[in-house]
Amino acid sequence: MVTATTTERVVAGSPVGEAAARPVEEVLLELETSDAGLSAPEAEARLRRWGPNAVRSHRARGWLVLWHQLRSPLLGLLLAAALVSFFVGERSDAVIIGVIVTLSVGLGFANEYRAEKTAESLHARIRHQALVRRGGRAQQVEVTDLVPGDVVELRLGDIVPADLRLLSVTGLECSESVLTGESLPVAKDTAPVAAGTPLAELTGCALMGTVVHAGSGRGVVVATGARTEFGAIAAGLAEHQLETEFQAGLRRFSMLLVYVAGALTTAIFVINVALDKPLIDALLFSLAIAVGITPQLLPAVVSTSLAAGSRRMSRRKVLVKRLVCIEDLGDVDVLFTDKTGTLTQGRIDFMRCVPTGGLSPDEVLRWGLLCTQTTFDEGRAVGGNPLDDALWNSPAVASQRAALREWTTTGVLPFDHERRMASVVVANPSGAARLIAKGAPETVLERCVGVPKDARHALDAEFAAGNRVVAVATRAAATPAAPTPQDERDLSLAGLLVFLDPPKPDAAAALRRLAELDVTVKVVTGDNPAVAVKVCHDLGLTDVGTLTGGELDAMDDARLTSAIAHTTVFARVSPEQKARIVRLQRQTGGDVAFMGDGVNDALALHAADVGISVDTATDVAKDAADVILLEKDLGVLADGVAEGRRIFANTIKYVLMGTSSNFGNMFSAAGASLFLSFLPMLPSQILLNNLLYDTSQLAIPTDNVDEEQVRRPAHWDIAFIRRFMLCFGPVSSLFDFATFAIMLWVFHSGAAQFRTGWFVESLATQTLVIFAIRTRRSPFWRSRPSVPLTVTVLGIVALGAVLPATPLAHVLGFRLLPSGFFAALAVLVVAYLVLVEIAKRFFYRLPPTQARPRPAVGRRHLRRRAAHFSTLARLPKPRAHRVTSTRPAEKTAHPMR
């Protein structure tokens, strides 16, 4: 069977296909609406009827989380051991293994489900809004509240929130690659199309999930949620998420354990069979060894850490779309950020007009007000760009209202990031038409004739003062028709509109804190370089190199890569140039974050390792970001970086301790098998030991982290973990063998008491060693563990010590231990921790292993917009496996460094 591609698919039978084939008037009549939109009561009634405008909700599903636990290969290994035990008559062992499986699955389920609930709450807080006309008024409405019949305004950078039949357009172009795979934007109009038109040719409609590339328009909603074309496609998408570097590290670590477990299990089984021990006992013991070396609750520890971190970050008003993005933040070396709202207050105020050519300030203000795409609600500007909103909401507008009524806008050429200006044609009652252009001073002045020198001097003075400036120019228009880019010529400069956006009071402290975290901050802005440099100087960044977009275009990739290292401010750059800067920075081996909130930031957000936006950003910027800030604050971002590093540091504590201790115990078991006539520990005892030990480590996510562990980024280093395991595992085995000697030659123990003694000693040493391994400092007095970790670890050790004296002892195969054993145990534990401290100091003096080279390929270039359109589709965002080039030697960091 041949399936048509998305581009070729005919949608005539769908709501939008049917609407596209009919005139606008018929569509409005059938939907019982008008160009003024629905009334509020009618919209509420339709929302109850049609439901929310969402393709899929991000909900924590208990059955799915449980399946994640049940499909574990380790669980299959345990169940296999239980079945073998049951059929060979060791039914008590089978019951014990069953209880251990239940507890392990229960702990994993509880932690993963809690993490899922955390992610659900975070997704619920990410908002997308659309500009909608209801009852003749323009207002911002939650995208999920849109209903058929709503009239939606589309602006540059908007993500189309539903399937729309277009009512009017002004140079509207939409990027439809999410649906059709075509990279070029599609020009839109309002004319009906023939029935059976393919999806890619529905020019009279704007489809949910597509992006407004240029121009503006207005459309009526004909389909929402799963009934849209986007919904039909998204419903069939798989939930598979591409792995991050953190997840890839976990996978590589798991493979290391598979190799080690396989080698040990095979060796132990062969040794026991060769020594004529019962085949079934040897098999069960080998299976238990394989399970015992594996930190079964590592996923639970990771999910607990990430969920706890996300809750802490959400209290600081930082939302993450995927929990693993928290750890990604900790990897960041370089942060590219825009200036407005991050380094500055983001509260733009109109200050004054600077007229030229003999015009008055009032005339300059009037032309500036007329040249706008702003929509108004009860006299206040809504849905415009920040500069237009600041201009229209300023007190100076009151004196212009009467004069503005004399002019009617007859044509609009919307702003775009290539021209960096907007133009309108206005006409007065006498029929005289005038073209007004407004935008970045450099681009407007290029199109002007006879610019006086004092105007250029005034512009330079405003830039030097750190003010934002918009230039306004006019000329007579031949006709009242909508202007084209070719009409933006032979203009006469009317004057300058000056805006104030002062630096944030706390921005300097945030920059210092990021510097302490070894994160280099670079400013990428569309503003004038002099303004950006002035802001940087005010915030204490004195050694500021600058590159402009024009200079950047003149460089090849090699020259630009070299220049980026010495540049702090990139000014007057286009969206493509921002993405190029980010891409080249990533190729130097560092991990890059980009923080932006506009449509012109979307490409760079996609190109970065970690994309960061704000809740007030454009839809396309929020859609491209991994992390959403409810407040645009670099200080909060510094908290996120530190939190990511703290989570990684605590995860590595568990990994290092688990691999070294478990490897040591299993190595001891293999050695004991050579000279003992019985198994050194029963399979069920090994599994119980492992479960108790893992449970004691569930408090690791609460542990304190040393300052040096968050000062620099750290990454998975499998070679380092392997060296750590091979160094500290044998240290653990020394004390296991000492315990064997004490049990056999001092207490003359039989098999049951021998196993009991080793169980208690093994649990005590491998659990208490966390206090030494968790830090490179001297434990307790230079680096104190958290109270929950201390209480949990000591509680598990105490539980292990008293188990042989409980009624469960007989079932578990334990026997009472002599009182002298506990005195010997205390000596062994103290000696073990002292030796670990000595080994630790020796180990960290060894030269670090060279980091594995990682090709400079983007980890986030394999995106599908349909899989992370967070509010409309509520789908998880896939991320490609990040691999970057080798870090320079001075940047290589061990997990414990």
Catalytic residue numbers, as ranges: 338
Q: Is 525 helix (H, G, I), strand (E, B) or coil?
A: strand
* CA distance to 465, 509, 535, 562, per residue, from 542 (Å): 16, 15, 10, 20
Return the number of other C-beta atoms located less than 10 Å from residue 429's C-beta: 8
Amino acid at 851: A
CB 154 within 8 A of CB 173: no
- Biggest distance spanned by C-alpha atoms of the chain: 115
Return the number of other C-beta atoms located less than 10 Å from residue 173's C-beta: 19
CB 241 within 8 A of CB 322: yes
CB 223 within 8 A of CB 162: yes
Region of residue 722 (left: phi > 0; alpha: psi -120 to 50; beta: else) = alpha
Q: How many residues comprise the chain?
A: 897
CB 221 within 8 A of CB 148: yes
Residue 172, token pair as written in the block: 């509207």
Report the distance separating Cα 292 and Cα 736, nearest Å. Answer: 15
Beta bridge partner(s), residue 551: none
421-427 β-sheet, strand order: 349-355, 492-500, 468-476, 433-439, 421-427, 408-416
Report the distance separating Cα 224 and Cα 43, nearest Å. Answer: 13
For the chain, percent helix, then strand, then coil, each to nearest 5? Answer: 50, 15, 35
CB 200 within 8 A of CB 132: no
CB 513 within 8 A of CB 374: no
Angle 573-579-583 from CA coordinates, rounded to 5°: 130
CB 496 within 8 A of CB 452: no
Based on C-alpha coordinates, what's the Rg of the chain?
33
CB 617 within 8 A of CB 595: no
Report the distance separating Cα 73 and Cα 549, nearest Å. Answer: 54
Nearest CA among 291, 293, 296, 264 for reference residue 662: 293
Residues sharing a CB contact under 8 Å with residue 439, sequence separation 6 or more, in sequence order: 415, 419, 420, 421, 422, 470, 471
Return the number of other C-beta atoms located less than 10 Å from residue 247's C-beta: 18
Return the number of other C-beta atoms located less than 10 Å from residue 277's C-beta: 18
Q: Environment class of residue 33 by beta-carbon count within 10 Å: exposed (0-12), middle (13-18) or buried (19+)?
A: buried
Nearest CA among 624, 511, 600, 493 for reference residue 549: 600
